[in-house]
Amino acid sequence: MNPNLAHLFLTLFLQIITLHVAGDSPSVYKPVDDITLQCGFSGDQVNQQDGRTWSGDINSKFSPFQAAGSSSVYKAATPISSSSQVPYTTARLSRSEFTYTFPLTSGQKFIRLYFYPTSYAAEFDRSKSLFSVEAGGFTLLRDFNASVTADAFSSETVSREFCLNIASEQSLNITFTPSRASPDAYAFINGIEIVSMPDNLYYTSPQSADGPVSVGSINPSRIENNAAMEMVYRINVGGSQLSFNRDTGMYRNWDGIQVEYNYLDDLSKNFSVLPQNSSIQPDFSEIPEYSAPEEVYRTARSMGTNKTINKIYNLTWGFPVDSTFYYFVRLHFCEFEGDVTLPRDRLFQIFISNQTAEQMADVITWSRGNGKPVYKDYVVFVPAGAGSKKKVHLFLALQATPKDRLTNYNDAILNGLEIFKLSDSNRNLAGPNPDPPPPPNIAQPESPKVSDKKSIPLLAIIAGVVSGVFVLASVFGFLVFRRGRKVKDSSSRQGTKWGPFSSATTKSTKTHRSSLPSDLCRYFSLAEIKAATQNFDSVFIIGVGGFGHVYKGNVNMDGGLHPVAIKRLKSESSQGAHEFKTEIDMLSQLRHVHLVPLVGYCMDDGEMILVYDYMARGTLRDHLYNTDNPPLPWDQRLQICIGAARGLHYLHTGAKYTIIHRDVKSTNILLDEKWVAKVSDFGLSKMGSTNVSQTHISTVVKGSFGYLDPEYYRRQQLTEKSDVYSFGVVLCEVLCARPALIRTAEKKQMSLAEWTKICHRNGKLDQIIDPSLRGKIGNACLKKYVEIAVSCMHDSGIERPSMNDVVWGLEFALQLQQSVGGDSNSNDEMGGGDDIESVTGSDVGFISWEESSELKKSRVSKTSSDHNSTTNESIKGMSGTVFSEINDPNGR
Ligand SMILES: *[C@@H]1O[C@H](CO)[C@@H](O)[C@H](O)[C@H]1NC(C)=O
Ligand SMILES: *[C@@H]1O[C@H](CO)[C@@H](O)[C@H](O)[C@H]1NC(C)=O
Ligand SMILES: *[C@@H]1O[C@H](CO)[C@@H](O)[C@H](O)[C@H]1NC(C)=O
Ligand SMILES: *[C@@H]1O[C@H](CO)[C@@H](O)[C@H](O)[C@H]1NC(C)=O
Ligand SMILES: *[C@@H]1O[C@H](CO)[C@@H](O)[C@H](O)[C@H]1NC(C)=O
Ligand SMILES: *[C@@H]1O[C@H](CO)[C@@H](O)[C@H](O)[C@H]1NC(C)=O
Ligand SMILES: *[C@@H]1O[C@H](CO)[C@@H](O)[C@H](O)[C@H]1NC(C)=O
């Protein structure tokens, strides 16, 4: 067989296997109605995340109806960081009522509404939207203030999911009405989705004698077809987020532990554990297979293994909800632990809204065996809270049976949950708008002055395959600087007892940035740039690379002077103005809380200048080794890794194109003043290759030694798995606090990747862990972390996890760490290792943070088109040549 074909088959085969194992099975339910409407758009657009096509409403059969004389306008939104941009890219806005009519089959449907509150044009100010939405005779939203709702959740976008029944073949009207409460209020909508659901998935079947348990009353209740519901929480308890495409065909989103954690009470945070059984194939004999994705049933939260502790606390979540509504609560269970197989093995009580919902919950009895998913439904009324509180908590508490003789394990378990608000007697589902978030905290004292940082000149290493084409040396790690602008920060996870109402905060990839000008990437005049750098005075140079110099400067922004990093590309670079502009357009659209934002650019007089945000705390490496900075605690390192992993995940999947970073390393992960990790240098490596033919692009190996994916090096084929490899090396750096490559070290220790693998194989990890972390990492956490790192560095790309899996794995590791309270019982395992010493003169990488002027002077930057594939990092003045990423040739 043709080897390529063979490879293709193998790939497909492996994918099928992986899919199967991961339970990413093809949808088990096929909706009859499946409408995705992108409002204010003409034509079709594909959402990169779930691969679904959204059709524009302009001049389509779904064009909304509007009374004569009134009209709506369509606008494109500025790009946002949200990983699923479609349908948020355009909106329909109007100051008068408009109605969409959807011809539908009869049956129960999901109606999903998508809003991205932003200022679409001068006449549609972000804060002025205020409107009601009605559908099928139900009020879904009333005087809905989209901007404050998004702000309260620290999110850029707001989406709502409703369920309602279409009685007989008829059309459904969805009407948007601007509020009369405010004179210049307008209504808007970005996307509408209507998807059929299986009969009586949530609604009570007419044939069924009883519906959900009515908590606090003896009569069971029923969810009748004449009710509408709004989904308020849907969580894969103890597991990772499962977004739309991982659902069973209904495109439901399941939040993961990142969100769930916010709602846990402190004791539960401290003591509960996260059992999982990734090998189990759930047996859907009790409930339909489409009820929830298999993954929901493979992970759970339980109380822990210590009976004594389990008896002194309740596993408790508190969910903020609107008061004076009935709520439908569905709890998903599956016993998958090998030792829980018999009735009464794990017996517990369930309290919902402080009332007994189950006296003797026994999953094995309900499901008739281990490995069989089951769910239980409840309806509860949530009364008004004390005072004028808009939101009250709906508590869910699981209490282990205290009596030892009744049960084997005094423990409780939950795998997943869904909470819906039920329409009231006025056919209303709308609640009040949330309160605006509290003003941002006064910023912590300024971070240490940049000049205090010990300078660490670093060697540059160039890897490459010769190509005869001159390429603009792609740019080097940029120094990015803090800008004074305050970005509303999402409140900290562990902040308050119940997690703030801004619960969704940790969907943090959507941090709100209302202060962003609508034009995301600003044009700076050359005069401004010259003023900021005193005409490119060399005293402002803070970095030198093959592409040119990096200056530190202050520019006028948002009415104040702000420090920025100004990267001036060399004029002799081959990149034409047009290509440059194209790249800028692309880079400026990459917005994510974990990416360093491009602030602006300048192209006057043939200059090619990029302006970046300033990152106050420098690079991740600055906090790991060869530094005077104090060592970071383990939790914080994990948080930083999670952030960086999210940034890379966004590059790989969230943007319009898959973007492969190509130069992931600890110096390309920067930290802002709040210690939020930001990936830098993305997209730039591509910049160098615009003039190169396609074939060349794939043969130009870029990257830094120590981090370079061996498979990429061998096969010269770039995939996002190369980034995964490099990220694995970063994870090792974070754990071991040593460089990726130590040329002076003994051979087997030279490469951190290899050394880690060897130590992992031989069970000698204790030899390499950062001494300052000894005894501080829980065993389970360490195990998981190293497992992720090693899997990232698998020789074969196909075997490496995706960045999404990495994010989830790290979150899981963090959770494991937090559940042991940061203490470890593992001193003996980690103690007594040899310190890694003499890490001198051997760094790999290229960012130097504020170097001394002597060093700066000693820097030479040539532009020779070096056609040599040498990787000799000791050559001074080696330059931005072909394929190279980097050029900071100064050794120490
Ligand atoms: C929406 O809420 C915000 C915050 O409370 C407020 O400033 C704004 O005026 C509200 N918009 C309207 C149209 O009422
Ligand atoms: C839907 O809206 C259209 C236009 O406003 C109206 O003619 C029609 O009667 C409405 N249908 C229903 C079922 O309300
Ligand atoms: C359970 O926890 C209690 C209280 O912390 C402790 O005293 C006891 O030793 C633990 N039991 C086991 C078996 O670990
Ligand atoms: C668990 O919750 C129930 C119901 O709210 C309460 O009666 C019980 O005291 C709680 N147990 C503990 C240990 O907090
Ligand atoms: C996972 O499930 C399988 C099949 O039921 C079982 O044999 C195994 O013991 C379970 N693993 C764990 C870790 O509980
Ligand atoms: C309801 O239960 C939660 C936790 O179980 C507790 O914090 C809260 O105080 C209880 N509320 C009332 C009114 O008893
Ligand atoms: C939870 O654990 C943390 C850290 O170990 C501790 O500071 C805190 O007091 C614990 N909280 C409770 C309620 O036990």
Q: Which residues does ligand 7 sit against, CB inside 6 Å?
A: 266-267, 270, 821-822
Please tell me if the CB atom of residue 658 comes closer than 6 angstroms to any atom of ligand 6: no
Mean pLDDT of 493-506: 29
Highest mean pLDDT among 170-179, 452-461, 570-579: 170-179
CA angle at 830 for the pair 825 and 836, rounded to the nearest 5°: 155
Please tell me if the CB atom of residue 185 comes closer than 6 angstroms to any atom of ligand 1: yes
What is the value of pTM for the model shown? 0.58
Angle at which helix 634-649 crosses helix 803-819, to 10 degrees, equals 160
* Ligand closest in space to the Cα of 494: 7
Residue that has been written with the tokens 């009207």 in this structure? 173
Tens digits of residue pLDDT in 392-403: 999 999 999 988
* Ligand closest in space to the Cα of 64: 2
| CA 308 to ligand 5 center in whole angstroms | 25
Tens digits of residue pLDDT in 128-155: 999 999 999 999 999 999 999 998 888 8
Mean pLDDT of 368-390: 89
Give CATH for domain 467-613.
Answer: 3.30.200.20
Q: Where along the chain do its domains lie?
A: 28-205+426-455, 230-422, 467-613, 619-801
* Ligand closest in space to the Cα of 173: 2
- Both tokens of 707, joined, read 């981090």
Among the four given CATH numbers 3.30.1330.10, 1.10.510.10, 1.10.4080.10, 3.40.640.10, the one describing domain 619-801 = 1.10.510.10
| pLDDT of residue 428 exceeding 90 | yes
Please tell me if the CB atom of residue 307 comes closer than 6 angstroms to any atom of ligand 3: no
Please tell me if the CB atom of residue 277 comes closer than 6 angstroms to any atom of ligand 5: yes
Q: Which atom of ligand 1 is nearest to the CA of 147?
A: 1
Q: What's the distance, Cα to Cα, between the start and end of the chain in Å?
A: 53
What string of H, E and C letters represents the secondary structure of 788-842? HHHHHCCCCHHHCCCHHHHHHHHHHHHHHHHHCCCCCCCHHHHCCCCCCCCCCCC
| CA 19 to ligand 5 center in whole angstroms | 20
Annotation-wise, does 453 bind a ligand?
no
Query: Nearest C-alpha to atom 11 of ligand 3 is from which residue?
Result: 306
Tens digits of residue pLDDT in 673-695: 889 999 987 655 544 333 323 32
* Domain 230-422 indexed as CATH 2.90.10.10: no
| CA 200 to ligand 6 center in whole angstroms | 33
| pLDDT of residue 480 exceeding 80 | no
Tens digits of residue pLDDT in 78-89: 655 444 478 888
Tens digits of residue pLDDT in 617-671: 888 998 999 888 889 999 999 999 999 999 999 888 876 667 888 889 898 899 9
* Domain 28-205+426-455 indexed as CATH 2.60.120: yes
Is 828 one of the annotated active-site residues of the chain? Answer: no
**Catalytic pick from 322, 663, 805, 866?**
663
Please tell me if the CB atom of residue 66 comes closer than 6 angstroms to any atom of ligand 2: no
Tens digits of residue pLDDT in 775-815: 899 988 999 999 999 999 998 888 999 998 899 899 889 98
Please tell me if the CB atom of residue 300 comes closer than 6 angstroms to any atom of ligand 5: no
- Same fold: 28-205+426-455 with 230-422: yes
Query: Nearest C-alpha to atom 9 of ligand 6 is from which residue?
Result: 354
SS3 content of the chain, % helix, strand, coil (to 5): 25, 25, 50
| CA 698 to ligand 2 center in whole angstroms | 56
Q: Which atom of ligand 2 is nearest to the CA of 173?
A: 1
| CA 303 to ligand 4 center in whole angstroms | 14
Query: Nearest C-alpha to atom 12 of ligand 2 is from which residue?
Result: 173
| CA 359 to ligand 5 center in whole angstroms | 28
Q: What is the sign, positive or negative, of the torsion defined by CA atoms of 336, 337, 338, 342?
A: negative
Residue 131: count other Cβ atoms within 10 Å of its Cβ.
24
Q: Residue 498 is which amino acid?
A: W
Please tell me if the CB atom of residue 305 comes closer than 6 angstroms to any atom of ligand 3: no
| pLDDT of residue 438 exceeding 50 | yes
Q: What's residue 26's pLDDT?
A: 52
What span, in angstroms and rounded, lies between the C-alpha atoms of 232 and 158? Answer: 12
